Structure 1
């Protein structure tokens, strides 16, 4: 599989990467054998960039991914994990419901400080059982997760303290790149106006449907040489399933407007003889500032099916036909409403 560079670093990642949230039991249990089969399918498909986080199954996904990669040649893969949450043990049976089924017996506390990030990295090494982490993402900072008031405190803590930990880890060679792993644009702008980062793992905001990143974030990334790793290309599923009953957009039931737009997109794809999921998966890779598209599943069959959407590459001429159906976010400060 072809590779692309992360930011201005020398790190290269495969155009398709694997996200391990589902291996932590997100929404449904993921037995170990099933998880290993899925990772093996990803490796067999040529994927060599794997992303995980302490949050996924409260440590479970890091243990699983680490066990899998430990048997692989070190020089052949790239690994990212995340900081911003510290896990602490809790009595068996008292783990809060975070939508993970059968997680490990831990809870999580937010900590974006220098010490918190350094502790998080040490804990991740132990869970992974590996001595190398290539990329660190600051996980779920922003108003989407914390609300405006709490996020102001977290953001100040990170910019005053936590960013220095990431800079030190990179300058020492412990990591090769760092950035943000988030679901929203505003916090990326806040951080990038105060610090330089290599990469943003952005879920759901630069897709065939949702172009929230276009107005301000992408120009700033191009200006600063910051890469995007694009997750959530199916916008929580609706671009894979189509607007069927029970489909989700942005983790919720879609509005009538979204249903209408996806219906129109599905008709366009059908005219070209392809499922809508194919242009959805391939759309971000048309741009050089996108380093990788992150796909996640807990089933080898789903992984193989998604990889079939990656090739053959669709002609560029198909993509302008979808433009009239996109959701466009206006620049911050605009009085225009989201379309």
Structure 2
């Protein structure tokens, strides 16, 4: 289906006569949402990656939505409320129809100080949802998610406090579906298995990218239970870019051999005059079991570049280089990851977030 056939299409808002096939849509698990396979991660609006001007965030959001992107993901953690606030302002400033998008936000992760970073309690969860709705200027979100559940004091807290609170939020009409997010796939699986609250979606990041495809080992489990899979960060939070990862990147802190392999892959792509980020996005978008792939930017120019990846398939040279990258640099990594390092650092009071 193309952009004009999904329920989020608004003729008076969207670009006229979108080219058929430019944007694909996939059903998100057993929900009623057909989501664009490229979606907008709003972390960048919170100045997470660089200082940003609010107005450029408005423009980036409008660019994505007008060209058929219909799923937005945010969190109170991104800029400690700024991402949600900028989204809410952009909806008004750009006259964006509520019908034109689905939106997900999160609970559980908040402030930079380690002692105040996480709160998965029942009451804290309910209060967080109210604050998010106020910042977004909305009466409901489509998905409310427990954020980075591996950092909870225990999974029992998530199962007995966070998720029941989210069920209450859903029952009150403030969210339509419930999801969980995190990096360790085994933790997401365990929560889905044990939860008495129905889990509709899982969001994980850097687990289906060129350097780590571990999500493939879990996709059958999630899809067999009707759980929609949201894949975030096809560039693996900057690893698969020419610029490289930020200093706070967990691979830079804990697994430098991953950084080294990705840097060599980037250098190889530069030699071949191919953009590694373009290869990375294509690689992630081509996985059909992931309903959508989140990409984050606060730049209209970068938004357009990402949209061009959707409408402009890889040429033969790019496909040859992609094969070389996977064989020479990524396959030897054998899905290396940084799972466990961050949670241990938090226990020791050394986690930087």
TM range, normalised to the smaller chain? 0.7 to 0.9
1:176 positional shift: 2.4
Q: Whole-Å Cα distance in 1 between the matches of residues 167 and 148 of structure 2?
A: 19
| Secondary structure of the structure 1 residue equivalent to 2:231 | strand
| SS at 1:200 equivalent | strand
Q: What TM-score do the two structures reach when normalised by structure 2?
A: 0.74
Bigger shift: residues 9-18 or 187-196: 187-196
Q: How many angstroms apart in 1 are the aligned matches of 2:277 and 2:301?
A: 16
Residues 241 and 266, structure 2, Cα contact 8 Å, conserved in 1? no
Residue aligned with 1:164, SS: helix
The 8 Å contact of residues 83 and 137 in structure 1, kept in 2 or not, is answered as yes
Instruction: Check whether the contact 2:85–2:135 (CA below 8 A) recurs between aligned residues.
Output: yes
Instruction: Find the partner of 1:36 among 58, 61, 74.
Output: 58
Distance 1:158 1:257 in 2: 31
Provide the rounded CA distance (Å) in 2 between the counterparts of 1:204 and 1:191.
Answer: 20
Please identify which structure carries the higher helix content.
2
Q: In structure 2, how many angstroms separate the alpha carbons of the residues matched to 1:112 and 1:214?
A: 29
Moved over 4 A (4+): 244-251, 264-271, 315-323
Describe the shift of the 1:320–1:245 C-alpha distance in structure 2 as closer, same or farther (beyond 3 A).
Answer: closer
Query: Could you say which residue in structure 1 is the equivalent of 2:200?
Result: 198
Partner of 1:211: 213
Counterparts of 1:218 and 1:315, CA distance in 2: 29
Counterparts of residues 153-192 of structure 1 (less than 5 Å): 153-171=153-171, 173-192=173-192
| Counterpart Cα distance in 1 of 2:286 and 2:107 | 30
Matched, 1:232 2:233: yes
- The residue number in structure 2 matching 1:76 is 100
Partner of 2:19: none
Q: Is the 8 A contact 2:203 2:229 kept in 1?
A: yes
- Pair 1:2 & 2:4 matched: no
- Aligned residue pairs total 303
Long gaps (5+) in structure 1: 88-95, 99-106, 331-339
2:67 aligned residue (36, 45, 48) = 45
Cα pair 2:159 2:191 within 8 Å, conserved = yes
Unaligned runs of 5+ in 2: 1-22, 337-353
Match of 1:111 in 2: 119
Deviation string 1:222-262 (CA, Å, 9 cap, x unpaired) is 322222211121112131217x6989965527734653466
SS at match of 2:310: coil
- Contact 2:239 2:259 (C-alpha < 8 Å) held by counterparts: no
Aligned pair 1:61/2:116, yes or no?
no
TM-score norm. by structure 1 comes to 0.77
